[in-house]
Structure 1
Amino acid sequence: MASYTVEQRQYKTYILGDRNSKIEIVPERGGIVTSWVVGDQEIFYMDTERFTHPDLSVRGGIPILFPICGNMPDNTYTLNGQVYHLTQHGFARNLPWQVDTEDQDGISLILTSTPETLAVYPFEFKVRFTYILTGSTLTIKQSYTNLSNQSMPFSAGTHPYFATPDKSELKFEFPSAEFVDQKSFVSHAFLGGFDFSLDEIDVMFFNAAAHNRAIITDASRNLKLTIDFDEHHKTLVFWTVKGKDFVCVEPWTAARNSLNTGENLLFVEPNSTINLQISMTVN
């Protein structure tokens, strides 16, 4: 069994790894990974002030996106003639997860449907995230099980915030030569960098599954971060805001509003499971 320790802070925090590489996970705050230290470097950004307020969404670590990624017009979607309301990125990042103490690989967390989730997403489900740390590679295995009697549509994503104290020193290798601005919906050629003088950058790379990899090189920290994701992840989102020391590189299975458009939605049949996986390696 993978060994970990538990510390009672504001929230119970699970710590997995050793002195060369370790992660910290807070199941109570959306199953989020709050920290990943490799050597003497913290890989993730964390807004610690927001984190202390349970009524605020977390900006930092790796929030979990399910059963949607992004937002929808008026936060609504229609299914079988019924209108439902879901806020941005879904509810998984805001709910407490349970630790599976029988896990043999790393730390497994489980989220199951409740009367509250059924009111906004009418499916019984069980989602499992397993965090595995092997050297300087963090692997996140995911399973989505449909416990309902009808096919369950969803999209899923991870939203890592990478600490970047000097964005001018960043270089990117992304799986597409073109991206779409998510505010203007205008396409642009990608030449390996971004204009960080803008107040916000929110863009999406399509056809990400063709290469299944994104690389960030940070010369200021002599650090190279490689993100690998499976074929279910069709899109890659890049997001940052001016004046904040982070960039987000987010593998998503589908673009925003997919519950309405149907584009790249995943469907799990009754009593079946779909497995996803991403990994991040620091060099």
Structure 2
Amino acid sequence: QTKLDSDDHPDIKAIFPHSFSITITYTLEGQHLKIDASAVNRGQDPMPIGLGYHTSFRYPLNEAGDKERCLFTLPASKRWTLTDRMLPTGEYRVTEEFKAGKMAAGERLDDILAAEQDQEGNSAAVIADSLAGIRVRYQCDGHFKHWVVFNGTSDQDDLLCIEPYTWMTNAPNLNLPKDVTGFRDLGPQEELTMRSKIEVGGI
């Protein structure tokens, strides 16, 4: 478990003038890693809150480096259009390529996609490597509204970042509804817990 209290960090208060704490609890149970992030607004004013994880996986999972035997899927069909600064324009295009299964090979990925939830309100990305016989499932609760996928620069060919965000990049400045961007405030003394889980198993 790790905890941060903003009142203990003047450098944080200087750029984000709110009193808050955030506690992240990691629980390892067999092949499951649970990650619970609990944020509390300790001030008297509403506080904007956005959380994202820059989670990196080795890609592919097999030791041979065979990317054609490794696919990943994201439950998302809305791919946000980005500016040359990699900021969302507010427009998107519909694509099924991430839901159908995609290889992180031969193209540079740096994309933001709107997450789609299942009947239980969760969204789960999957990496499946048939050569290694390994399947990684990354599940997040309904607070995470977006996925960012990134596979490095031209000299980085061995990673895949699958990053869940509660709000999309630059959400406070976008002229879109909050239920689309994921932008939200935390009320005075309000607490919010955002849950995710990484599961490793066989295919």
SS in 1 for 2:68: helix
Structure-2 separation of matches of 1:188 and 1:269: 34
Q: Normalising to structure 2: TM-score of the pair?
A: 0.78
Higher relative contact order (CA 8 A, sep 6+): 2
Structure-1 separation of matches of 2:68 and 2:28: 30
Unaligned 5+ residue runs, structure 2?
A: none
- Structure 1 residue 233: Cα displacement: 0.5
The two structures, once aligned, show a CA RMSD in angstroms of 2.0
Which deviates more, 256-265 or 174-183? Answer: 174-183
Quote the residue 1:258 is aligned against.
171
Residues 18-49 of structure 1: CA distance to partner in whole angstroms, max 9, x if unpaired? Answer: xxxxxxxxxxxxxxxxxxxxxxxxxxxxxxxx
SS in 2 for 1:203: strand
**Conservation of the 8 A alpha-carbon contact between 1:209 and 1:233:** no
**Conservation of the 8 A alpha-carbon contact between 1:179 and 1:189:** yes
**Conservation of the 8 A alpha-carbon contact between 1:208 and 1:236:** no
Residue correspondences, number? 175
* Residue correspondence of structure 1 range 52-201 to structure 2 within 5 A: 108-113=1-6, 114-165=9-60, 166=65, 167-180=67-80, 182-183=82-83, 187=93, 189-191=95-97, 192-194=101-103, 196-198=105-107, 200-201=108-109
Structure-2 separation of matches of 1:179 and 1:173: 14
Amino acid of the structure 2 residue aligned with 1:244: D
**Conservation of the 8 A alpha-carbon contact between 1:209 and 1:235:** no
- Structure 1 residue 224: Cα displacement: 0.1
SS in 2 for 1:168: helix
- Structure 1 residue 196: Cα displacement: 2.3
Structure-1 separation of matches of 2:82 and 2:192: 28
Quote the residue 2:199 is aligned against.
281
Structure-1 separation of matches of 2:94 and 2:103: 11
Quote the residue 1:236 is aligned against.
147
Sequence identity (%): 23
Residues 136-188 of structure 1: CA distance to partner in whole angstroms, max 9, x if unpaired? Answer: 00000110011111011021011111011433322123212342354566635
- Structure 1 residue 277: Cα displacement: 0.4
Residues 71-117 of structure 1: CA distance to partner in whole angstroms, max 9, x if unpaired? Answer: xxxxxxxxxxxxxxxxxxxxxxxxxxxxxxxxxxxxx1001112111
1:207 equivalent among 115, 121, 145: 115
- Structure 1 residue 197: Cα displacement: 1.8
Amino acid of the structure 2 residue aligned with 1:123: H
In structure 2, relative to structure 1, the CA distance for the partners of 1:228 and 1:195 (3 Å cut) is closer
Q: Which runs of 4+ in 1 moved over 6 A?
A: none
**Conservation of the 8 A alpha-carbon contact between 1:180 and 1:203:** yes
Structure-1 separation of matches of 2:150 and 2:41: 31
In structure 2, relative to structure 1, the CA distance for the partners of 1:182 and 1:135 (3 Å cut) is farther
In structure 2, relative to structure 1, the CA distance for the partners of 1:130 and 1:137 (3 Å cut) is same
- Structure 1 residue 221: Cα displacement: 2.0
Unaligned 5+ residue runs, structure 1?
A: 1-107
In structure 2, relative to structure 1, the CA distance for the partners of 1:216 and 1:183 (3 Å cut) is farther
